[in-house]
Amino acid sequence: MKMAELSTVSGIAVATIKFYLRERLLPAGARTGPNQATYGEAHLRRLGLVRALLGVGGLSVADARNVIDAIDDPEVSLLHTFDAAQRAVSDDIDPASISAAGFARIDVITAGWHVSPLNPGRLAAARVVDAFEAVGHTDARGWFARYAAAALMVAEADLDEVEALPDVDAQAETVVVGTVLGDALFSGIRRAAQEHVSALRYGSPSSGAPTPTPPGD
Amino acid sequence: MKMAELSTVSGIAVATIKFYLRERLLPAGARTGPNQATYGEAHLRRLGLVRALLGVGGLSVADARNVIDAIDDPEVSLLHTFDAAQRAVSDDIDPASISAAGFARIDVITAGWHVSPLNPGRLAAARVVDAFEAVGHTDARGWFARYAAAALMVAEADLDEVEALPDVDAQAETVVVGTVLGDALFSGIRRAAQEHVSALRYGSPSSGAPTPTPPGD
């Protein structure tokens, strides 16, 4: 299809598509003339991915390009794609800014796991543990261990989903989408779960919301 | 203690403390003279909380003030404090921007839960499901259901931690800290878990990190 049609089908403005092409977020179409190119299903799917990464995912153009480069590079293994996606969505944290106690607390919770010392998640989690400690939660090991058990369930679910896919391209895309959008999905469901568990324990739905759901059956 | 001492003990500059006072993030000290006030342990703890909310938590000053007001208002129940904390960390999402199919998919995953239609987490999760759908994950019910099971574990852990605390002030603070910092803690541990599960399945730690941990025992 021509660019005008790609725009109509995807619902993305031609100017935006041209911007994605310039920024190498979308591969060039097949040339059909000096000023014309044609685009296929792969471009349509890629447009959806780019929109998800920049929109709900909140990535910068540079971060989105990094993960897309990882998807497209046939030399890059799935493990590297995971790594690229993790780095794109993680703050750049200086390990020196984290206390030894913070690292020790995270390492106790994830004891037995194979985690690189500079895994961006390990740094982020240790920094949060330092912040919890600063507000008086100095003995929260049991609490955080339950986070670790839940995180393991989510990681298993992510990898099962990736492995069920037929081809490497789809797997790489899912690694990126799952990593980038999975945080937002989890934190959303977590807030719903907080309201649910509160309602179960205290007998009333969170009353700040305008139209509470009746308890029902 | 005087402000200079509060600054020394907390490690927070006097100018920053004065800013927090002006912004009503920190309650005024007890007046001891026309230009002097004295501060206590409660101020020290509150300083740690403010720093955590504005720093690792990433809240704006206005959002931090909203949750602190909820903590300090004796009329506000724990459920309302949860609600205030959730709103402070959630994007303001227009329900009209989400497809009916997105809502339906989230409602299937959280079937039986007591969740208000406008729970900010429900809106956020439905928006993410729409984004997954746009990149071809139209039948991810089994995948997302495992997120829901994990989120329920985390919500139970959060409420157990709150209920174990001796007084209402500490409970309200923990509701806020857990809600605001819990997302960052979970996403960090999740990335560590992804590396771990990948290593278990594919036999090698993520090789993008400079100093991989040897497999060990």
Query: Taking the mean position of all CA atoms in its chain, how far away is CA B185?
Result: 9
pLDDT at B206 over 70: no
Which among B50, B114, B156 is the top mutation candidate for probing chain A, defined by the most A β-carbons within 10 Å of its own β-carbon? Answer: B114
pLDDT at A33 over 70: yes
Residues of A in contact with B177 (CB under 8 A): 132, 135, 137
Report chain B's mean pLDDT, rounded to a whole number: 88
Which among A127, A154, A159, A177 is the top mutation candidate for probing chain B, defined by the most B β-carbons within 10 Å of its own β-carbon? Answer: A154
CB nearest to A183's CB, from B187, B202, B213: B187
C-alpha–C-alpha distance, residues B161 and B64, integer Å: 22
Residues of B in contact with A79 (CB under 8 A): 198, 202, 204, 206-208
C-alpha–C-alpha distance, residues A89 and B60, integer Å: 20
Percent of chain A's residues with pLDDT above 90: 60
Taking the CA atoms of residue B173, residue B174, residue B175 and residue B178 in that order, the dihedral angle to the nearest 10 degrees is 130
pLDDT at B209 over 60: no
Query: In this predicted structure, what is the pLDDT of residue B208?
Result: 43
Residues of A in contact with B123 (CB under 8 A): 188
Which residue, B191, B104, B53, is CA-closest to A120? B191
Residues of B in contact with A75 (CB under 8 A): none
User: How close, in Å, is residue B34 to chain A by CA atoms?
Assistant: 31
pLDDT at B213 over 50: no
B24-80, pLDDT tens digit by residue? 999 999 999 888 899 998 899 899 899 999 988 889 999 999 999 888 888 888 888
Q: Determine contact: B212 vs chain A, CB below 8 A.
A: yes
Within 8 A by CB and 6+ apart from B64, the residues are B25, B50, B53, B54, B57, B88
Token pair 């904390």 is found at: B85
Q: Determine contact: A197 vs chain B, CB below 8 A.
A: yes
- Does A86 sit within 8 Å of B185, measured CB to CB? no
- Does A198 sit within 8 Å of B57, measured CB to CB? no
Looking at chain B, which residue has its C-alpha nearest residue A192? B121
CB nearest to B128's CB, from A56, A136, A156: A56
Query: Taking the mean position of all CA atoms in its chain, how far away is CA A149?
Result: 19
Q: Determine contact: B107 vs chain A, CB below 8 A.
A: no
- For the record, the structure tokens of B202 come out as 């594919």
What is the arithmetic mean of pLDDT over A24-35?
Answer: 91
The amino acid occupying position A50 is V
Residue A17 DSSP code: H
A70-110, pLDDT tens digit by residue? 888 888 888 888 888 888 888 889 999 999 999 999 999 99
Read off the pLDDT band of B135 (50, 70, 90).
confident
CB atoms < 10 A from the CB of B23, how many? Answer: 14
Residues of A in contact with B77 (CB under 8 A): 207
- Does B121 sit within 8 Å of A189, measured CB to CB? yes
Q: Determine contact: A143 vs chain B, CB below 8 A.
A: yes
Read off the pLDDT band of B84 (50, 70, 90).
confident
A163-204, pLDDT tens digit by residue? 998 888 888 888 999 998 999 999 999 999 999 999 998 876
Query: Taking the mean position of all CA atoms in its chain, how far away is CA A207?
Result: 31
Query: In this predicted structure, what is the pLDDT of residue A204?
Result: 62
Residues of B in contact with A185 (CB under 8 A): 125, 128-129, 132, 144, 147
Residue bearing the bigger pLDDT, B84 or A39: A39
C-alpha–C-alpha distance, residues A90 and B39, integer Å: 37
Residue bearing the bigger pLDDT, A137 or B32: B32
What is the arithmetic mean of pLDDT over A124-140?
Answer: 89
Within 8 A by CB and 6+ apart from B217, the residues are none
Which among A190, A197, A200 is the top mutation candidate for probing chain B, defined by the most B β-carbons within 10 Å of its own β-carbon? Answer: A190
Q: Determine contact: B196 vs chain A, CB below 8 A.
A: yes
- Does A212 sit within 8 Å of B190, measured CB to CB? no
Query: In this predicted structure, what is the pLDDT of residue A16?
Result: 96
What is the arithmetic mean of pLDDT over A37-64?
Answer: 91
CB atoms < 10 A from the CB of B205, how many? Answer: 21
Angle CA A20–A55–A165, to nearest 5: 85
Taking the CA atoms of residue B192, residue B194, residue B200 and residue B201 in that order, the dihedral angle to the nearest 10 degrees is -170
pLDDT at A8 over 90: yes
Query: Could you tell me how many CB contacts below 8 A there are between chain A and chain B?
Result: 366
Percent of chain B's residues with pLDDT above 70: 94
ipTM of the complex: 0.85
Read off the pLDDT band of A138 (50, 70, 90).
confident
B89-134, pLDDT tens digit by residue? 888 899 999 999 999 999 999 999 999 999 999 999 999 999 998 8
- Does B206 sit within 8 Å of A79, measured CB to CB? yes
Which among A174, A194, A207 is the top mutation candidate for probing chain B, defined by the most B β-carbons within 10 Å of its own β-carbon? Answer: A194
pTM of the model: 0.85
Query: In this predicted structure, what is the pLDDT of residue A209?
Result: 41
Q: Determine contact: A153 vs chain B, CB below 8 A.
A: yes
Q: Report which secondary-structure segment, H or E, holds A67.
A: helix A61-72
> For residue B82, is it left (φ>0), alpha (ψ between -120 and 50) or beta?
alpha
B140-193, pLDDT tens digit by residue? 889 999 999 999 999 999 999 999 988 888 888 899 999 989 999 999 999 999
